[in-house]
Each structure stands twice: as C-alpha cells, then as structure tokens.
Amino acid sequence: MPVTGPETMTDTLRTPLYDLHTALGAKMTPFAGYDMPLQYDGIMAEHKHTREAAGLFDVSHMGQAHYTGEEAALEKLITADLSALAHGEQKYTLLLNEQGGIRDDLMVSRPFGDDGLFLVVNAATKADDFAHIAKNTSGKGELRVIGDRALIALQGPQAADVFSALVPDAAKLVFMQCRVFTLDGTEIWVSRSGYTGEDGFEISLPADRAAEITQKILDDERVKPVGLGARDSLRLEAGLCLYGHDMNEETTPVEAVLMWAVAKPRRERLDFPGAARVMQMLADKPARKRVGFTMTGAPAREGAEIVKDGQTIGVVTSGGFGPSVGGPVGMAYIDTEFGAPGTEIEILLRGKARPAQVTKMPFVEQRYYRGE
C-alpha cells in the first residue's frame, strides 16, 4: 500500500514550533533535514535543568504514523509481541533487516478507542522506515503517515507536577502507558516515556495548536526549553542508544545489547527478521558488543579508536561530557572479551592513548515513574 503523507524532503524543513524557537532565542542547527534548536541558554544549563526540574523538547521532526489492518504483517518486521500489547500500552521495539541488522528503533503503542497502532520512528530514518513498512504490509495493512501533528517531550522530576496542573489525569499514567487527553478542547496523545532517563511525557498534538500548547507548558516557571545538544547528553548519560551511531544496519540486537527489546515469544517462534542469525549469535556470544565507558580529562568522541596492549579492540560510537556525571562518558563497540565493567582500556585521542574504563550503564540513575 502506498505511503501517504507529506514526506518529500526538499529544502530544510521547519517544525510547527519553529517560530517559537526563534522567539525564545534558540541557536538553530540542521538535523535530519530540519532546522532544529541546538540550544537556548546553553547545553550544560539545559541538561542540568532537565535533571533538576523540567525540560521541554521539540521532537516534531520524528516520524509519527498510524497502522491499521493485519498486525501480523507489521509484527513480522519488528521484534515486539503485538498480541501482548494492551490498549494504553507502549513498547520500545526494533525494525530489523533480513540479517537481523537494526534498520531503526521505534515506539509502538495501542491507543484506547483505536483499532490500530501508533508508531514513532527516528527523523533521519522515517522516509525509509515508512516505505519499508508500507511495502511489506501491502494488501494487508495500511500505514498512514501523520504529517499534521507536532511532538514534544516534557522531561524531568517536576514534569508530572507541571503537566498534571494542565491535564490532571496524566499523573495516573505509569512508565510506558499512553492515553488520549483533551487540553483546552484539543485532542493530545500522551505517553509516559522519553529519552532522558527521567520521568516525563511525550505529547503528540495538532500542528496548528502546537505553539499555543507548548507556550502554555513553558509558562510554568519550572520548565525551560531544551535543544538537541542537551537531548544528546541526557540520553547518553541515561545509556540510551542513538540510531545511526550506537546501532545501525550492521549491528544486531545482540551486539547492541538490546535483546530485551526482542519479545520472548518472538525468540521462541524465531519469527523476527534475521532470527536464526540473531539467536545463533546470542548462543555463541557476539565478537563485539556495545558498552559504556568513562574517563577523565578530554572526552573521547564518536569514531575514536579503542586499544589495549597496542591492538585495536573497539571504536567509540557516542561520546562527550556528561554534565550530571561531571566527566566524560560514552558508548563504544568493543571486543566482547574486554566488555566487562571495570576493564581498563585506552582510547586514542589526537594520537595519544588515554586511559578509560568500561563502565556499567546507565551512567545516571533512571528515574522512570513505575507507580507508587
């Protein structure tokens, strides 16, 4: 079935919140075809504010879609057990290629009062993802790309207090639950989830009401707008993968240490893409795996080589300064024999070997709300 929706990438695109960003003084940057806010007050301040109070993110560049029809056709492409996905629940899942390589990571949810599924995929991969899903479910299901809704995230320990002042019942959601609410007569789709390691919400709202509702949330003095810079440092400290960096089509869920996202019944049935190869790799242990690392001094960045006794044993896939950790943190793919937390390694920075240590992730405590 053909993909429908405004998915033609030509010039730099703007989200429905573009004017709000510029009015707030954001420094803008091109990202995945969009002109996005990199920062407002500064990455460090925005990062810390999110961990201490609440940060508001525009993630409207991400791909939203609605799927209806035969769910088995969609399920074949991903790693979730859709039959176990109840109304009002959301799952993190993976879109795999036939070799078990990761095409993308995504959220799938089953909204109440809806006969379909709501998908949220990465911005840089959305055109490919939607074409792939549409092609492989053709004649069995329909994928409708949602181009008229914005997506924002409100994250941080005060997010629930802030948001429940506007939408009281939102506080009843627990991590990875979703509901449709009405705010000022506008239908908003809310899930208790995010990409920071903090409690919070992701909120899909009509594009033509997005600026007004976002401004209303920002009117709460506990909330500050946060750009992509701090979004990256927050997710890195939380140990969350960034697609295209910490996993890609060449990495399997075993190597990426994301087997928790492959539902048990799917493993047993061996019916996810590349299942035979992936389960064999799980049994044999992969040659390399994703790990976290910490170090002192200059942060190792993506692409830095990891060595041990003069041999290359891995590569950094994400790295930077962790403002809440107070030092450099990163993720790397490393030969599995060196993957145990505590292992001393060296990372080449500008030709010099710097000591680093394999470190268990997350680097900061995840503070998801799982109920009283």
Partner 1 sequence: MSVKYTKDHEWVKIDGDTATVGITSYAAEQLGDVVFVELPDVGKTFDQGDEMAVVESVKAASEVYAPVSGEVVAVNDGLEGEPQKVNESPDSDGWFVKLKLGDTSQLDSLMDDAAYQAHIS
Report the interface residues with partner 1, using CB under 8 A. 38-39, 42-45, 47, 229, 233, 297-299, 301, 320-321, 323, 328, 350
Work out whether the CA dihedral 213, 215, 221, 223 comes out positive or negative.
positive
* Rounded Cα–Cα distance for residues 58 and 15 (Å): 8
Q: Which is nearer to partner 1, 20 or 329 (CB)?
A: 329
Q: Which is nearer to partner 1, 29 or 215 (CB)?
A: 29
Closest approach of partner 1 to the CB of residue 196, in Å: 15
Q: Which is nearer to partner 1, 43 or 146 (CB)?
A: 43
Closest approach of partner 1 to the CB of residue 293, in Å: 16
* Rounded Cα–Cα distance for residues 178 and 321 (Å): 33
Report whether 223 contacts 56 (CB < 8 A): yes
Helix 228-237 / helix 43-52 crossing angle, nearest 10 deg: 50
Q: Distances in Å between the alpha carbon of 362 and those of 150, 287, 324?
A: 29, 22, 12
Closest approach of partner 1 to the CB of residue 236, in Å: 11
Closest approach of partner 1 to the CB of residue 232, in Å: 8
* Rounded Cα–Cα distance for residues 230 and 196 (Å): 9
Q: Which is nearer to partner 1, 70 or 305 (CB)?
A: 305
User: Which residues, listed in sequence order, are joined to residue 291 by a DSSP beta bridge?
Assistant: 332
Cα–Cα nearest to 328, from 291, 357, 295, 292:
295
Q: Which is nearer to partner 1, 97 or 357 (CB)?
A: 357
* Rounded Cα–Cα distance for residues 371 and 131 (Å): 38
Q: Which is nearer to partner 1, 217 or 240 (CB)?
A: 240
User: In the chain, which ranges are continuous DSSP H helix?
Assistant: 18-23, 43-52, 71-75, 126-136, 159-166, 207-218, 228-237, 264-269, 275-284
Closest approach of partner 1 to the CB of residue 300, in Å: 10
- Sort residue 262 into left (φ over 0), alpha (ψ -120 to 50) or beta: beta
Closest approach of partner 1 to the CB of residue 229, in Å: 6
Q: Which is nearer to partner 1, 243 or 321 (CB)?
A: 321
Cα–Cα nearest to 278, from 246, 255, 248:
255
* Rounded Cα–Cα distance for residues 67 and 144 (Å): 6
3-state DSSP percent of the chain in helix, strand and coil, to 5:
25, 35, 40
Q: Which is nearer to partner 1, 16 or 229 (CB)?
A: 229
Closest approach of partner 1 to the CB of residue 273, in Å: 35
Q: Which is nearer to partner 1, 89 or 302 (CB)?
A: 302
| Joined tokens for residue 111 | 């909204």
Closest approach of partner 1 to the CB of residue 298, in Å: 5
* Rounded Cα–Cα distance for residues 285 and 23 (Å): 52
Closest approach of partner 1 to the CB of residue 299, in Å: 6
Residue 206 preceded by cis peptide, ω within 30: no
